Structure 1
Amino acid sequence: MTEALLFVLAEPGRVPEPEFHDWYDTEHAPKRLAVPGIRSGYRYRALDGERPGWLAWYELDTKALHGEAYQAVRRRSPREQSVVERLDTLDRRVYELIDDQGTPVAEAPVVVSVALSTPDERGLADWYREEHVPLLLAIPGWHRVRRYRRVEGTGPDLLALHEIDDVGLFGHPDYRTATSTPRRAEVMARVTARERRVFGFHNTVRPCPPPE
Protein backbone atom coordinates (compact mmCIF):
# COMPACT_ATOMS: atom_id res chain seq x y z
CA MET A 1 0.00 0.00 0.00
CA THR A 2 1.48 3.33 -1.10
CA GLU A 3 0.50 6.66 0.43
CA ALA A 4 -0.53 9.10 -2.27
CA LEU A 5 -1.97 12.54 -2.89
CA LEU A 6 -4.54 13.54 -5.50
CA PHE A 7 -3.85 17.23 -6.14
CA VAL A 8 -6.29 19.20 -8.29
CA LEU A 9 -6.03 22.86 -9.26
CA ALA A 10 -9.11 24.54 -10.70
CA GLU A 11 -10.14 27.93 -12.03
CA PRO A 12 -13.91 28.47 -12.46
CA GLY A 13 -13.63 30.63 -15.56
CA ARG A 14 -17.13 30.90 -17.04
CA VAL A 15 -18.68 28.96 -14.15
CA PRO A 16 -20.26 31.34 -11.59
CA GLU A 17 -18.59 30.82 -8.23
CA PRO A 18 -21.79 29.70 -6.40
CA GLU A 19 -22.37 27.06 -9.08
CA PHE A 20 -18.73 25.97 -8.93
CA HIS A 21 -18.84 25.44 -5.17
CA ASP A 22 -22.23 23.72 -5.22
CA TRP A 23 -21.03 21.27 -7.86
CA TYR A 24 -17.78 20.61 -6.03
CA ASP A 25 -19.28 20.26 -2.55
CA THR A 26 -22.45 18.34 -3.37
CA GLU A 27 -21.39 16.13 -6.29
CA HIS A 28 -17.79 16.03 -7.43
CA ALA A 29 -15.83 15.78 -4.17
CA PRO A 30 -18.33 13.73 -2.10
CA LYS A 31 -18.36 10.99 -4.73
CA ARG A 32 -14.61 10.66 -4.43
CA LEU A 33 -14.75 10.39 -0.65
CA ALA A 34 -17.05 7.40 -1.09
CA VAL A 35 -14.33 5.45 -2.94
CA PRO A 36 -12.55 2.88 -0.73
CA GLY A 37 -9.00 4.01 -0.05
CA ILE A 38 -9.69 7.75 -0.42
CA ARG A 39 -9.53 8.78 3.22
CA SER A 40 -9.88 12.54 3.34
CA GLY A 41 -10.23 15.61 1.16
CA TYR A 42 -9.79 19.35 1.61
CA ARG A 43 -10.46 22.46 -0.44
CA TYR A 44 -8.28 25.56 -0.33
CA ARG A 45 -8.48 29.03 -1.94
CA ALA A 46 -5.48 30.93 -3.29
CA LEU A 47 -3.93 33.51 -0.97
CA ASP A 48 -1.19 34.57 -3.36
CA GLY A 49 -3.33 36.26 -6.00
CA GLU A 50 -2.30 33.68 -8.60
CA ARG A 51 -4.39 31.39 -10.79
CA PRO A 52 -5.68 28.71 -10.70
CA GLY A 53 -7.46 30.05 -7.63
CA TRP A 54 -8.65 26.78 -6.06
CA LEU A 55 -6.92 23.64 -4.81
CA ALA A 56 -8.48 20.36 -3.73
CA TRP A 57 -6.29 17.62 -2.31
CA TYR A 58 -7.15 14.11 -1.23
CA GLU A 59 -5.15 11.71 0.92
CA LEU A 60 -5.42 8.14 -0.34
CA ASP A 61 -3.87 4.80 -1.13
CA THR A 62 -2.54 4.67 -4.70
CA LYS A 63 -4.52 1.52 -5.43
CA ALA A 64 -7.77 3.43 -4.84
CA LEU A 65 -7.29 5.21 -8.17
CA HIS A 66 -7.12 1.97 -10.13
CA GLY A 67 -10.26 0.23 -8.85
CA GLU A 68 -13.69 0.06 -10.42
CA ALA A 69 -15.20 2.37 -7.79
CA TYR A 70 -12.93 5.25 -8.75
CA GLN A 71 -13.36 4.68 -12.47
CA ALA A 72 -17.12 4.83 -11.93
CA VAL A 73 -17.01 8.23 -10.23
CA ARG A 74 -14.81 9.60 -13.02
CA ARG A 75 -17.65 9.06 -15.49
CA ARG A 76 -19.16 12.51 -15.67
CA SER A 77 -22.81 13.27 -15.12
CA PRO A 78 -24.42 15.77 -17.52
CA ARG A 79 -24.11 18.44 -14.80
CA GLU A 80 -20.44 17.71 -14.26
CA GLN A 81 -19.72 17.69 -17.98
CA SER A 82 -21.34 21.12 -18.29
CA VAL A 83 -19.25 22.54 -15.45
CA VAL A 84 -15.96 21.03 -16.63
CA GLU A 85 -16.44 22.37 -20.15
CA ARG A 86 -16.66 25.91 -18.75
CA LEU A 87 -13.70 25.75 -16.36
CA ASP A 88 -10.61 27.70 -17.35
CA THR A 89 -8.36 25.15 -15.61
CA LEU A 90 -8.69 21.63 -14.27
CA ASP A 91 -5.15 20.48 -13.51
CA ARG A 92 -5.13 16.98 -12.00
CA ARG A 93 -1.93 15.48 -10.59
CA VAL A 94 -1.21 12.32 -8.60
CA TYR A 95 1.80 12.08 -6.29
CA GLU A 96 3.31 9.27 -4.25
CA LEU A 97 4.75 10.03 -0.82
CA ILE A 98 8.53 9.92 -0.40
CA ASP A 99 8.97 11.68 2.97
CA ASP A 100 6.80 12.93 5.86
CA GLN A 101 8.15 15.05 8.72
CA GLY A 102 6.46 17.03 11.46
CA THR A 103 3.06 16.76 13.09
CA PRO A 104 -0.23 16.55 11.19
CA VAL A 105 -2.84 19.19 11.95
CA ALA A 106 -6.55 18.94 11.25
CA GLU A 107 -7.60 21.39 8.55
CA ALA A 108 -4.30 23.27 8.35
CA PRO A 109 -5.09 26.99 8.01
CA VAL A 110 -2.54 27.48 5.24
CA VAL A 111 -0.75 25.11 2.87
CA VAL A 112 2.27 26.01 0.80
CA SER A 113 2.92 23.85 -2.24
CA VAL A 114 6.36 23.96 -3.84
CA ALA A 115 6.78 21.89 -6.98
CA LEU A 116 10.27 21.43 -8.41
CA SER A 117 12.16 19.62 -11.12
CA THR A 118 15.90 19.04 -10.93
CA PRO A 119 18.46 16.69 -12.44
CA ASP A 120 19.90 16.29 -8.92
CA GLU A 121 17.02 14.72 -6.99
CA ARG A 122 19.41 13.17 -4.47
CA GLY A 123 20.97 16.52 -3.65
CA LEU A 124 17.53 18.12 -3.30
CA ALA A 125 16.31 15.33 -1.03
CA ASP A 126 19.41 15.50 1.17
CA TRP A 127 19.04 19.27 1.54
CA TYR A 128 15.38 18.98 2.50
CA ARG A 129 16.05 16.21 5.02
CA GLU A 130 19.28 17.49 6.55
CA GLU A 131 18.80 21.28 6.56
CA HIS A 132 15.67 22.84 5.10
CA VAL A 133 12.90 20.87 6.80
CA PRO A 134 14.52 20.89 10.27
CA LEU A 135 14.92 24.68 10.05
CA LEU A 136 11.29 25.14 9.00
CA LEU A 137 9.85 22.79 11.63
CA ALA A 138 11.70 24.72 14.32
CA ILE A 139 9.50 27.74 13.53
CA PRO A 140 6.43 27.87 15.83
CA GLY A 141 3.37 27.29 13.65
CA TRP A 142 5.22 25.39 10.90
CA HIS A 143 3.73 21.96 11.52
CA ARG A 144 4.45 19.49 8.77
CA VAL A 145 6.30 18.97 5.48
CA ARG A 146 5.48 16.12 3.14
CA ARG A 147 7.41 15.41 -0.04
CA TYR A 148 6.02 13.61 -3.07
CA ARG A 149 7.01 12.42 -6.53
CA ARG A 150 4.57 12.98 -9.40
CA VAL A 151 3.25 9.79 -11.05
CA GLU A 152 0.37 11.24 -13.11
CA GLY A 153 -0.40 14.62 -14.65
CA THR A 154 1.82 17.46 -15.73
CA GLY A 155 4.04 19.92 -13.91
CA PRO A 156 7.32 19.68 -12.02
CA ASP A 157 8.39 16.21 -10.88
CA LEU A 158 8.54 16.75 -7.11
CA LEU A 159 6.20 18.40 -4.63
CA ALA A 160 6.69 19.65 -1.08
CA LEU A 161 3.44 20.33 0.80
CA HIS A 162 3.81 22.47 3.92
CA GLU A 163 1.10 22.82 6.59
CA ILE A 164 1.39 26.08 8.53
CA ASP A 165 -0.65 28.39 10.73
CA ASP A 166 -0.41 31.71 8.96
CA VAL A 167 1.22 33.55 6.07
CA GLY A 168 2.79 35.84 8.67
CA LEU A 169 5.37 33.10 9.21
CA PHE A 170 7.03 34.19 5.97
CA GLY A 171 8.21 37.26 7.87
CA HIS A 172 9.70 35.28 10.75
CA PRO A 173 13.50 35.67 11.05
CA ASP A 174 13.95 31.90 11.13
CA TYR A 175 12.03 31.56 7.86
CA ARG A 176 14.34 34.04 6.22
CA THR A 177 17.27 31.99 7.54
CA ALA A 178 15.80 28.73 6.23
CA THR A 179 15.36 30.18 2.75
CA SER A 180 18.71 31.96 2.40
CA THR A 181 21.43 29.47 3.32
CA PRO A 182 24.40 28.84 1.00
CA ARG A 183 23.32 25.22 0.62
CA ARG A 184 19.85 26.28 -0.52
CA ALA A 185 21.42 28.54 -3.15
CA GLU A 186 23.49 25.61 -4.44
CA VAL A 187 20.46 23.30 -4.65
CA MET A 188 18.18 25.88 -6.25
CA ALA A 189 20.79 26.72 -8.88
CA ARG A 190 20.20 23.23 -10.30
CA VAL A 191 16.38 23.48 -10.32
CA THR A 192 14.93 23.55 -13.84
CA ALA A 193 11.26 24.21 -12.99
CA ARG A 194 9.56 25.67 -9.91
CA GLU A 195 5.96 26.41 -8.91
CA ARG A 196 5.25 27.92 -5.48
CA ARG A 197 1.66 28.49 -4.37
CA VAL A 198 0.01 29.55 -1.10
CA PHE A 199 -3.55 28.52 -0.22
CA GLY A 200 -5.89 29.11 2.70
CA PHE A 201 -8.36 26.58 4.12
CA HIS A 202 -11.87 26.67 2.59
CA ASN A 203 -13.59 23.48 3.74
CA THR A 204 -13.29 19.77 4.41
CA VAL A 205 -14.81 17.45 1.83
CA ARG A 206 -17.66 15.31 3.15
CA PRO A 207 -18.77 12.01 1.61
CA CYS A 208 -22.20 11.59 0.07
CA PRO A 209 -24.82 10.71 2.71
CA PRO A 210 -26.09 7.13 2.54
CA PRO A 211 -29.37 6.64 0.66
CA GLU A 212 -32.48 6.63 2.82
Structure 2
Amino acid sequence: MTEGLLYVLSEPGAVAEEEFHDWYDTEHAPARVGVPGIRSGYRYRALDGARPSWLAWYELELGALVSPEYEVVRRRSPREVSVVSRLETLDRRVYELTDSWGAFDGPAPVVVSVALTGDTDALDEWYREEHVPLLLRMPGWHRIRRYRRVEGSGPDVLAFHEIAGAELFDDPVYRHATRTPWRDRVMATVTTRERRVFGYHNTAGRR
Protein backbone atom coordinates (compact mmCIF):
# COMPACT_ATOMS: atom_id res chain seq x y z
CA MET A 1 0.00 0.00 0.00
CA THR A 2 1.48 3.33 -1.10
CA GLU A 3 0.22 6.41 0.70
CA GLY A 4 -0.53 9.42 -1.43
CA LEU A 5 -2.17 12.80 -1.72
CA LEU A 6 -4.46 14.11 -4.44
CA TYR A 7 -3.97 17.90 -4.41
CA VAL A 8 -6.24 20.05 -6.56
CA LEU A 9 -6.07 23.83 -6.91
CA SER A 10 -9.01 25.59 -8.53
CA GLU A 11 -10.29 29.05 -9.39
CA PRO A 12 -13.94 29.54 -10.38
CA GLY A 13 -13.29 32.22 -13.01
CA ALA A 14 -16.47 32.50 -15.06
CA VAL A 15 -18.34 30.08 -12.78
CA ALA A 16 -20.50 31.81 -10.17
CA GLU A 17 -19.28 30.95 -6.65
CA GLU A 18 -22.63 29.44 -5.63
CA GLU A 19 -22.60 27.17 -8.70
CA PHE A 20 -18.95 26.27 -8.11
CA HIS A 21 -19.56 25.18 -4.51
CA ASP A 22 -22.79 23.34 -5.32
CA TRP A 23 -21.03 21.34 -8.05
CA TYR A 24 -18.06 20.57 -5.82
CA ASP A 25 -20.05 19.68 -2.70
CA THR A 26 -22.93 17.74 -4.25
CA GLU A 27 -21.30 16.01 -7.24
CA HIS A 28 -17.54 16.23 -7.64
CA ALA A 29 -16.22 15.59 -4.11
CA PRO A 30 -18.82 12.98 -3.03
CA ALA A 31 -17.98 10.86 -6.07
CA ARG A 32 -14.30 10.84 -5.16
CA VAL A 33 -14.57 10.12 -1.46
CA GLY A 34 -16.85 7.23 -2.37
CA VAL A 35 -14.02 5.43 -4.18
CA PRO A 36 -12.40 2.59 -2.18
CA GLY A 37 -8.95 3.69 -1.03
CA ILE A 38 -9.78 7.40 -0.91
CA ARG A 39 -10.12 7.80 2.83
CA SER A 40 -10.85 11.48 3.33
CA GLY A 41 -11.04 14.78 1.55
CA TYR A 42 -11.12 18.42 2.58
CA ARG A 43 -11.70 21.79 0.95
CA TYR A 44 -9.73 24.90 1.93
CA ARG A 45 -9.91 28.59 1.00
CA ALA A 46 -6.76 30.67 0.41
CA LEU A 47 -5.68 32.86 3.33
CA ASP A 48 -2.66 34.36 1.58
CA GLY A 49 -4.48 36.44 -1.04
CA ALA A 50 -2.94 34.41 -3.87
CA ARG A 51 -4.68 32.52 -6.64
CA PRO A 52 -5.89 29.86 -7.22
CA SER A 53 -8.21 30.54 -4.29
CA TRP A 54 -9.31 26.99 -3.52
CA LEU A 55 -7.58 23.76 -2.54
CA ALA A 56 -9.11 20.31 -2.27
CA TRP A 57 -6.92 17.54 -0.89
CA TYR A 58 -7.63 13.85 -0.54
CA GLU A 59 -5.71 11.31 1.55
CA LEU A 60 -5.58 8.00 -0.27
CA GLU A 61 -3.84 4.87 -1.39
CA LEU A 62 -2.27 5.65 -4.75
CA GLY A 63 -3.76 2.49 -6.19
CA ALA A 64 -7.21 4.02 -5.80
CA LEU A 65 -6.45 6.38 -8.68
CA VAL A 66 -6.01 3.54 -11.16
CA SER A 67 -8.98 1.52 -9.95
CA PRO A 68 -12.09 0.79 -12.06
CA GLU A 69 -14.17 2.71 -9.52
CA TYR A 70 -12.07 5.84 -9.99
CA GLU A 71 -12.24 5.55 -13.77
CA VAL A 72 -16.03 5.67 -13.45
CA VAL A 73 -16.04 8.91 -11.44
CA ARG A 74 -13.63 10.55 -13.90
CA ARG A 75 -16.24 10.28 -16.65
CA ARG A 76 -17.68 13.75 -16.52
CA SER A 77 -21.39 14.39 -16.43
CA PRO A 78 -22.81 17.11 -18.72
CA ARG A 79 -22.96 19.42 -15.70
CA GLU A 80 -19.33 18.75 -14.82
CA VAL A 81 -18.22 19.29 -18.40
CA SER A 82 -19.94 22.67 -18.34
CA VAL A 83 -18.44 23.76 -15.02
CA VAL A 84 -14.89 22.57 -15.78
CA SER A 85 -14.91 24.28 -19.19
CA ARG A 86 -15.53 27.63 -17.44
CA LEU A 87 -13.07 27.31 -14.57
CA GLU A 88 -10.13 29.68 -14.67
CA THR A 89 -7.85 27.05 -13.09
CA LEU A 90 -8.04 23.33 -12.39
CA ASP A 91 -4.56 22.19 -11.36
CA ARG A 92 -4.52 18.51 -10.38
CA ARG A 93 -1.42 16.96 -8.81
CA VAL A 94 -0.74 13.54 -7.35
CA TYR A 95 1.94 12.97 -4.72
CA GLU A 96 3.53 9.94 -3.06
CA LEU A 97 4.27 10.15 0.67
CA THR A 98 7.96 10.05 1.59
CA ASP A 99 8.06 11.24 5.23
CA SER A 100 5.66 12.02 8.07
CA TRP A 101 6.15 13.61 11.50
CA GLY A 102 3.61 14.39 14.20
CA ALA A 103 -0.01 13.28 14.32
CA PHE A 104 -3.36 14.90 13.78
CA ASP A 105 -6.92 13.86 13.00
CA GLY A 106 -8.01 16.44 10.44
CA PRO A 107 -9.15 18.77 9.31
CA ALA A 108 -6.60 21.22 10.62
CA PRO A 109 -7.74 24.84 10.80
CA VAL A 110 -4.87 25.90 8.52
CA VAL A 111 -2.61 24.07 6.08
CA VAL A 112 0.65 25.35 4.62
CA SER A 113 1.95 23.78 1.43
CA VAL A 114 5.50 24.43 0.28
CA ALA A 115 6.42 22.93 -3.09
CA LEU A 116 10.04 23.04 -4.20
CA THR A 117 12.38 21.98 -6.96
CA GLY A 118 16.02 21.92 -5.92
CA ASP A 119 18.77 19.68 -4.55
CA THR A 120 16.56 16.88 -3.23
CA ASP A 121 19.22 15.29 -1.02
CA ALA A 122 20.06 18.63 0.59
CA LEU A 123 16.38 19.42 1.12
CA ASP A 124 15.76 16.01 2.67
CA GLU A 125 18.64 16.32 5.12
CA TRP A 126 17.70 19.85 6.16
CA TYR A 127 14.06 18.96 6.71
CA ARG A 128 14.84 15.86 8.76
CA GLU A 129 17.72 17.22 10.82
CA GLU A 130 16.77 20.84 11.44
CA HIS A 131 13.56 22.26 9.97
CA VAL A 132 11.03 19.67 11.15
CA PRO A 133 12.37 19.41 14.73
CA LEU A 134 12.27 23.20 15.07
CA LEU A 135 8.72 23.55 13.78
CA LEU A 136 7.35 20.71 15.91
CA ARG A 137 8.55 22.48 19.05
CA MET A 138 5.64 24.86 18.64
CA PRO A 139 2.32 23.91 20.24
CA GLY A 140 -0.17 23.93 17.40
CA TRP A 141 2.24 22.83 14.67
CA HIS A 142 0.52 19.48 14.46
CA ARG A 143 1.89 17.44 11.60
CA ILE A 144 4.31 17.68 8.67
CA ARG A 145 4.24 15.34 5.69
CA ARG A 146 6.54 15.35 2.69
CA TYR A 147 5.73 14.06 -0.75
CA ARG A 148 7.23 13.65 -4.20
CA ARG A 149 5.17 14.54 -7.25
CA VAL A 150 4.20 11.57 -9.44
CA GLU A 151 1.59 13.22 -11.68
CA GLY A 152 0.66 16.74 -12.73
CA SER A 153 2.59 19.98 -12.96
CA GLY A 154 4.46 21.98 -10.37
CA PRO A 155 7.63 21.60 -8.29
CA ASP A 156 9.07 18.17 -7.57
CA VAL A 157 8.54 17.87 -3.81
CA LEU A 158 5.85 19.07 -1.43
CA ALA A 159 5.92 19.75 2.31
CA PHE A 160 2.41 19.77 3.74
CA HIS A 161 1.95 21.30 7.20
CA GLU A 162 -1.22 21.07 9.32
CA ILE A 163 -1.33 23.80 11.95
CA ALA A 164 -3.63 25.45 14.48
CA GLY A 165 -3.60 28.91 12.94
CA ALA A 166 -1.73 31.52 10.94
CA GLU A 167 -0.72 33.32 14.14
CA LEU A 168 2.05 30.71 14.49
CA PHE A 169 3.96 32.58 11.79
CA ASP A 170 4.61 35.29 14.39
CA ASP A 171 6.12 32.83 16.87
CA PRO A 172 9.87 33.38 17.45
CA VAL A 173 10.46 29.66 16.93
CA TYR A 174 8.91 29.86 13.46
CA ARG A 175 10.95 32.92 12.57
CA HIS A 176 14.11 31.10 13.66
CA ALA A 177 13.16 27.94 11.74
CA THR A 178 12.86 29.94 8.52
CA ARG A 179 16.02 32.04 8.93
CA THR A 180 18.86 29.67 9.82
CA PRO A 181 22.18 29.54 7.91
CA TRP A 182 21.44 25.92 6.93
CA ARG A 183 18.08 26.94 5.52
CA ASP A 184 19.71 29.73 3.48
CA ARG A 185 22.26 27.31 2.00
CA VAL A 186 19.58 24.83 0.99
CA MET A 187 17.29 27.50 -0.45
CA ALA A 188 20.15 28.69 -2.65
CA THR A 189 19.77 25.38 -4.56
CA VAL A 190 16.02 25.87 -5.11
CA THR A 191 14.94 26.80 -8.63
CA THR A 192 11.17 26.78 -8.04
CA ARG A 193 9.29 27.57 -4.83
CA GLU A 194 5.54 27.71 -4.33
CA ARG A 195 4.26 28.48 -0.81
CA ARG A 196 0.54 28.65 -0.08
CA VAL A 197 -1.58 29.08 3.07
CA PHE A 198 -5.18 27.85 3.23
CA GLY A 199 -7.93 27.84 5.87
CA TYR A 200 -10.47 25.07 6.37
CA HIS A 201 -13.72 25.43 4.42
CA ASN A 202 -15.46 22.07 4.65
CA THR A 203 -15.05 18.32 4.53
CA ALA A 204 -15.23 17.11 0.95
CA GLY A 205 -18.46 15.38 0.12
CA ARG A 206 -20.42 16.94 2.99
CA ARG A 207 -22.67 19.98 2.85
CA distance in 2, matches of 1:70, 1:107: 23
TM-aligned CA deviation for residue 107 of structure 1: 1.1
Aligned to 2:164: 165
CA distance in 2, matches of 1:107, 1:200: 10
Q: Secondary structure at the match of 2:145?
A: strand
CA distance in 2, matches of 1:206, 1:16: 19
Give the % identical residues.
70
8 Å contact kept, 1:39–1:58:
yes
1:149 paired with 2:148, answer yes
1:188-207 alignment, distance < 5 Å: 188-206=187-205
8 Å contact kept, 2:37–2:64:
yes
Aligned to 2:63: 63
- List, as ranges, runs of 4+ consecutive aligned residues in structure 1 with deviation greater than 4 Å: none
Query: What's the C-alpha RMSD, in Å, of the aligned pairs?
Result: 1.0
1:127-138 alignment, distance < 5 Å: 127-138=126-137
Aligned to 1:139: 138
Aligned to 1:101: 101
8 Å contact kept, 2:25–2:206:
no
CA distance in 2, matches of 1:135, 1:184: 12
8 Å contact kept, 2:8–2:90:
yes
CA distance in 2, matches of 1:65, 1:178: 36
8 Å contact kept, 1:146–1:160:
yes
Q: Secondary structure at the match of 1:129?
A: helix
TM-aligned CA deviation for residue 38 of structure 1: 0.4
Cα distance, 1:140–1:104 mapped onto 2, change above 3 Å: same
TM-score, L = length of structure 2: 0.98
CA distance in 2, matches of 1:144, 1:189: 26
- In structure 1, the gaps of 5 or more residues are none
TM-aligned CA deviation for residue 12 of structure 1: 0.2
Aligned to 2:40: 40
8 Å contact kept, 2:11–2:89:
yes
- In structure 2, the gaps of 5 or more residues are none
CA distance in 2, matches of 1:105, 1:182: 33
TM-score, L = length of structure 1: 0.96
TM-aligned CA deviation for residue 105 of structure 1: 3.3
CA distance in 2, matches of 1:113, 1:206: 22
1:91-126 CA-to-partner distances (Å, cap 9, x unmatched) read 0000000000011132100000000001x2111001
Aligned to 2:178: 179
1:26 paired with 2:46, answer no
CA distance in 1, matches of 2:67, 2:51: 32
